[in-house]
Amino acid sequence: MKLKRTVPEILTNGFIILLAVLYAAGFTPEAVGAEASFLVIPVFFLTLWRFGKSLFAEKKEAVVFVIFATALYGMCAFREGREAATGIFLNSKEGLTILSCVVMPLAFCMILQWLKKVESRIEMCVMSAALVFAGQFCDDKGGFYILLMLLLGVTVKIVRKGYAYVVASGGFKKRI
């Protein structure tokens, strides 16, 4: 079975695996610093593209989503009170910014993709572990946040399958 992957999927998955390897090697975002921050902004745009493609069926809608989200992030960069989520253009080397702008949206996007169809269980397990390690690399509580998101995704999958089994067996009659 050959898996069909797009370029944004390959690059964002590679970035997550890179963050997981940096965490396993004992690095911190402050130690990596500006040397790797040039990777964050292109991966941010690829994350927006993947997120738009998972939310919208047509390419035009995904492009409009990316433009709108970029404008939203860009406008917030010029405000006086700068938060972690809006600081992708200003401080892309901070761990909390990477977590909130790249890793958590990618985790959500992957969960949406896995809820539709799991193509490879091994890839799902490896990417889940890489997401947890990447979250932990970015922030002390980041691994917990990603793990919680993954567990909620598994819960949704179990509830959906359980509901389908109950309906197929004749339970839960529809009431008008």
Considering only CA atoms, which of 134, 73, 74 is closest in space to residue 106?
134
* pLDDT higher than threshold 80 for residue 82: no
How high is the mean pLDDT of the chain? 79
Question: How many residues make up the chain in this entry?
Answer: 176
pLDDT tens digits for 26-50?
887 777 766 666 778 888 888 888 8
Q: Which residues contact 48 (CB under 8 A, 6 or more apart)?
A: 65, 66, 69, 70, 105
Please count the other Cβ atoms lying within 10 Å of the Cβ belonging to residue 73: 17
Rounded Cα gap, residues 87 and 73, in angstroms: 8
Rounded Cα gap, residues 114 and 5, in angstroms: 14
User: What is the mean predicted confidence (pLDDT) over 51-62?
Assistant: 84
User: What is the mean predicted confidence (pLDDT) over 60-79?
Assistant: 79
Return phi, psi of residue 129, to 5°: -65, -40
The percentage of the chain sitting over the pLDDT mark of 70, rounded to a whole number, equals 79
SS3 39: coil
Beta strands, E only, 28-176: none
- pLDDT of amino acid 171: 56
pTM reported for the whole predicted model: 0.77
For 53, counting Cβ atoms within 10 Å of its Cβ (0-12 exposed, 13-18 middle, 19+ buried), the class is: buried
